[in-house]
């Protein structure tokens, strides 16, 4: 099946319609000109015939004048012999006198002007061709009753010259329309090509993107809708390339993160198995196995949460909750861990804060993730500070600050992006903050990160307090 394209559709639809309109214009214009010329010729011949009739009428009303002689004189001395021929028709229908002196061979019964004049008693009109094929126009009027034997007067003019003028005008009009059509074809084709070529380039580029090649970019030629589309596609390619890079880095990072605890668990399991009598070694090994197993569990849970978010199956079980209780539990969990790594955790619990309507398990998960990151990116001797305050009458603000390595200006806008890791030397999957940000957003809050490289980082979590309608 032959594939349709924009150019062909434009040629068939637009150009076809325009061609039909121009053809109708040529035909209509030609008919109008023909009608105008023929009408003008008829009016002229009628006026001349009326003039002759008036002259003959004066002679007819003059008793001293000879109507027959006057009629013959008018015909023989007709001043416009080069334009039209004047004829006098006898009572039996034959031509008796002509201004040219020659009796025409054409029979009057083939021309309707005389018959119309006889039937109407006044005048008749005829347009047609002679036996020789010449195009003519004839006007006929009846003469008053007289003893000359003549019944009517007829004026005949050739239309060949008029037809030549009409043909010339029609050809000129057709040439103008063809020129317009050619110009529209060229300009339209140029316009269509200005759309088709970029679209084809976009399609070709998109096919390369589909097979994973994000290196090619589309050249933007005009600052219009097509140019905007080129910018969008190029931006999409950049984002896809970045996403692909981060995905690959994520796979590599997760593989490493999974391999490390699994290696530790396997190693200590083998050690315990070979040294069953050494209680100290067994105890140490079990602690390592427990902590590494917990680390694996947290990572798997983090990946599952991310997968649920991507599939739209992530849900919250909201109830009235005490945010200080969840924050205190998260701080307690990581205080001992921080001590082991030589990091001090500072937290002074406020007397009381309003309740929050949310999922306590998910909120605690966010606190744990943020505190864990603060410890993770802090060096020995560092300090992690946690505080909870009322930012205003309707919001609670939780700040987690560290004195760690900080985040660079170019990395800071990307740290909440999935798969992104600002520091590849530290453990982590790169999706923890993305999950935390989504959880806080689902609670109607904000998760903001402020950082200076080499100075530390502050994560600010803002949550709305419980409203009256949430308590119902």
pLDDT, greater one: 33 or 425: 33
**Residue 243: which residues within 8 A CB-CB, separation 6 or more?**
419
Pick the most confident of 96-110, 154-168, 250-264: 154-168
* Mean pLDDT of the region 459-464: 92
At a CB cut-off of 8 Å and minimum separation 6, what does 319 contact? 357, 358, 359, 360
183 band by pLDDT with thresholds 50, 70 and 90: confident
Tell which wins on pLDDT, 261 or 202. 202
Helix axes 160-210, 16-61, angle to 10 degrees: 170
Question: Residue 241: its pLDDT value, please?
Answer: 80
Q: Mention every residue, 6+ apart, whose C-beta is less than 8 A from residue 432.
A: 302, 369, 372, 373
**Average pLDDT estimate for 263-271:** 72
pTM: 0.48
- What does residue 406 show for φ and ψ, rounded to 5 degrees? 75, 180
448: left (phi over 0), alpha (psi -120 to 50) or beta: beta
Residue 268 has pLDDT above 90, yes or no: no
Domains and CATH numbers, the chain: 6-165 (3.30.450.20), 225-309 (1.10.287.130), 317-471 (3.30.565.10)
**Rounded mean pLDDT of 288-301?**
72
Which one is predicted more confidently, 245 or 20? 20
With a pLDDT cut of 90, the percent of the chain lying above it is 14
Tell me the pairing of strands 344-347 and 383-392.
parallel
Q: pLDDT value at position 424?
A: 46
The pLDDT tens digits for 348-394 are 888 788 999 998 888 888 898 899 888 888 888 899 999 999 888 88
pLDDT value for 385: 92
How confident is the model over 281-285, as a mean pLDDT? 74
Burial 233-250 (b: 16+ CB within 10 A, else e): bbeebeeeeebeebeeeb
What is the model's pLDDT at position 230? 83
Contact 401, 449 (CB under 8 A): no
Read off the pLDDT of each residue in 194-209 and give the average, rounded to a whole number. Answer: 81
Q: Give Cβ neighbours of residue 290 (< 8 Å, ≥ 6 apart).
A: none
Integer-rounded Cα radius of gyration of the chain:
52
List pLDDT tens digits, range 66-77.
777 877 888 888
- Alpha-carbon distance 79 to 86, whole Å? 10
Three-state secondary structure call for residue 322: coil
- pLDDT band at residue 423 using 50, 70 and 90 as cut-offs: low
Q: In angstroms, rounded to a whole number, what is the distance separating the alpha carbons of residues 241 and 254?
A: 20
Q: Report the alpha-carbon distance of residue 447 to residue 439 in Å, rounded.
A: 9
Q: To the nearest whole number, what is the mean pLDDT of the chain?
A: 80
Tell me: the pLDDT tens digits for 315-356?
788 889 998 998 988 888 888 888 888 999 998 888 788 999
pLDDT, residue 90, reads 80
Judge whether residue 168 has pLDDT over 90. Answer: yes
């Amino acid at each position: 099946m032959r594939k349709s394209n924009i150019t062909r559709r434009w040629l068939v639809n637009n150009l076809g319609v325009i061609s039909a309109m121009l053809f109708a214009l040529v035909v209509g214009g030609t008919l109008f000109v023909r009608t105008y010329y023929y009408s003008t010729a008829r009016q002229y011949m009628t006026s001349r015939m009326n003039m002759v009739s008036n002259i003959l009428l004066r002679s007819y009303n003059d008793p001293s004048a000879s109507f027959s002689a006057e009629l013959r004189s008018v015909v023989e001395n007709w001043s416009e012999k080069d334009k039209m021929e004047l004829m006098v028709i006898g009572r039996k229908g034959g031509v008796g006198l002509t201004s040219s002196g020659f009796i025409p061979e054409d029979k009057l019964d083939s021309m309707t002007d005389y018959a119309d004049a006889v039937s109407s008693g006044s005048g008749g009109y005829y347009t047609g061709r002679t036996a020789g094929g010449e195009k003519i126009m004839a006007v006929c009027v009846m003469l008053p009753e007289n003893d000359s034997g003549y019944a009517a007067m007829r004026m005949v003019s050739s239309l060949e010259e008029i037809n030549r003028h009409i043909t010339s005008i029609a050809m000129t009009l057709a040439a103008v329309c063809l020129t317009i059509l050619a110009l529209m074809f060229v300009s339209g084709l140029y316009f269509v090509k200005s759309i088709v070529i970029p679209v084809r380039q976009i399609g070709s580029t998109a096919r390369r993107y589909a097979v994973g090649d994000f290196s090619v970019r589309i050249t933007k030629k005009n600052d219009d809708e097509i140019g905007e589309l080129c910018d969008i596609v190029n931006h999409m390619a950049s984002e896809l390339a970045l996403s692909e890079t981060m995905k690959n880095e994520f796979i590599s990072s997760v593989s490493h993160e999974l391999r490390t605890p699994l290696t530790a668990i396997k190693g200590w399991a083998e050690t315990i198995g070979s040294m069953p009598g050494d209680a100290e070694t067994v105890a140490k090994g079990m602690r390592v196995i427990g902590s590494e197993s917990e680390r694996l569990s947290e990572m798997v849970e983090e990946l599952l949460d991310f997968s649920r978010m991507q599939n739209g199956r992530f849900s919250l079980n909201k109830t009235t909750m005490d945010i200080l209780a969840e924050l205190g539990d998260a701080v307690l969990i990581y205080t001992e861990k921080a001590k082991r790594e030589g990091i001090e955790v500072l937290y002074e619990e406020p007397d009381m804060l309003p309740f929050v309507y949310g999922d306590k398990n998910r909120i605690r998960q966010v606190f744990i993730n943020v505190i864990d990151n603060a410890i993770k990116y802090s060096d020995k001797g560092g300090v992690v500070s946690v505080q909870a305050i009322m930012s205003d009458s309707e919001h609670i603000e939780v700040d987690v600050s560290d004195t760690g390595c900080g985040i660079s200006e170019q990395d800071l806008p990307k740290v909440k992006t999935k798969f992104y890791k600002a520091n590849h030397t530290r453990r982590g999957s790169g999706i923890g903050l993305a999950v935390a940000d989504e959880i806080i957003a689902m609670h109607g809050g904000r998760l903001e990160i402020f950082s200076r490289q080499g100075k530390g980082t502050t994560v600010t979590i803002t949550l709305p307090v419980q409203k009256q309608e949430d308590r119902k």
